[in-house]
A = this chain, B = another copy of it.
Amino acid sequence: MKTQISLNRINDAVNFKATNSKGQSMLMDGSASLGGINNGVSPMEALLMALAGCSAIDVVMILNKMKQKIDDLKIDVTADVKKVDDYKEYSHIHMRFHLKGEIKEAKLQKAIEMSIEKYCSVAKTLEKTSEISFEYTLNNEN
């Protein structure tokens, strides 16, 4: 199986539009580090977004299978950036899951663990570079 995307420059600065095979796109730029205009996410932010999206999909699917009712899901991701030679990497990524609904806490914990440790392809890729940790709130309670 193959996955394909394309990226096009959209102006004279470092602004780009990335598009998948179905035409869905995202805007990306590197202006944050250049002091220029900034109308897209940075590539390193996109890595964290990929992780959150991947894990969110898993958690929703696993909780659905467990017959739990999700009213809301939010994930905040914070990552520590470390300079290595001429590039940067995330030394540590912390994910805060915030769920609302008729969900048993033990099942939520299990669903998140299964995603991060077993199913989430993005987590399995990023864990080679970054320690990944998580916490959660359920109906606004820790």
Contact = CB atoms under 8 A, between A and B. Distances in A.
Interface of A: 1-9, 14, 16, 18, 20, 22, 24-30, 32, 34, 38-54, 56-57, 60-61, 70, 72-81, 84-90, 118-122, 124-126, 128-129
A6 B123 CA distance: 16
- SS class, residues of chain A in contact with chain B: mixed
| Protomer copies | 2
B56 A14 contact: yes
Given A44-B3, A52-B5, A89-B125, A14 B60 contact: yes
Contacts of A4: 48, 76-79
Contacts of A38: 22, 24
Contacts of A2: 78-81
Given A16-B53, A122-B47, A74 B29 contact: no
